[in-house]
Amino acid sequence: QVQMQESGPGLVKPSETLSLTCTVSGGSINPYYWSWIRQSPGKGLEWLGYIYYRGYTDYNPSLKGRVTMSIDTSKNHLSLKLSSVTAADTAVYYCARNQMLPYDIFDIWGQGTMVTVSS
Amino acid sequence: DIVLTQSPGTLSLSPGERATLSCRATQSVNNNHLAWYQQKPGQAPRPLMFGASLRATGIPDRFSGSGSGTDFTLTISRVEPEDFAVYYCQQYGGSPITFGQGTRLEIK
């Protein structure tokens, strides 16, 4: 069955760029929408945006242009970049598969990766 | 953005009792695109319900969902020991997708 695994640095300095990768195994990236979601004690679960296998994206306006998502269908990889991070970006970051639609439930989740923003 | 408010914050029940969890939206959720998730410590959320009342794959029938517009309910008919967890609602009627703050179901 499809599994997802996030990876990336666990510690990022303030003002720098957070970069994470999500590897999809056991299935294809096509033809799904894929989302990034984060969870912090202060803000709960927050949807960051989605990317379609063809590269279309929609981002949460709350991130104010700091987020970029990309996809590599040949490697079954998703990527997330979040620039100008602050302590408020400290969270567990998840990649997840949308069930079918751009705005949908998330039927498969990665295990999540904790990212701490601190100097 | 649609804000989802869940109540109660914590629900204390004994196994075998009925659990009723509420999720209220600040505006009508398009097409009743409302989902529920269960999350246990150290795990990602697991989908339980979608479309307000449809069970996700593999979810037992003691879980049911209801509601429309702005008021939605998740019911567990008889709580099992494995059901003690945190429950979140999510609306996906439009962008941005938003989540409720969660209801913790704890053992009484």
- Residues B34-89 pLDDT 10s: 999 999 999 999 999 999 999 999 999 999 999 999 999 999 999 999 999 999 99
- CA–chain centroid gap for A113, Å, is 10
Dump the DSSP string for A56-116. -EEE-GGGTT-EEEEEETTTTEEEEEE-S--GGG-EEEEEEEESSSSS--EEEE---EEEE
Which helix or strand (DSSP H or E) is residue A14 part of?
none
From chain B, pick out residues whose CB is under 8 angstroms from the CB of A94.
44
| Distance in angstroms (rounded) separating the CA atoms of residues B5 and B23 | 6
pLDDT category of residue A41 using cuts at 50, 70 and 90:
confident
Distance in Å, alpha carbon of B25 to nearest chain A alpha carbon: 16
Residue the block writes with tokens 């003691």: B62
Nearest to A58 among B47, B50, B95 (CB): B95
For residue A42, the model assigns a pLDDT of 79
For residue A75, the model assigns a pLDDT of 92
Nearest to A105 among B1, B44, B90 (CB): B90
Give pLDDT tens digits for A3-18.
999 999 999 999 999 9
| Distance in angstroms (rounded) separating the CA atoms of residues B105 and B86 | 6
For residue A43, the model assigns a pLDDT of 80
Selected residue of A59, A100, A101, A103 to mutate for chain B interface (largest B Cβ count, 10 A): A103
Selected residue of B37, B57, B86, B97 to mutate for chain A interface (largest A Cβ count, 10 A): B97
For residue A64, the model assigns a pLDDT of 87
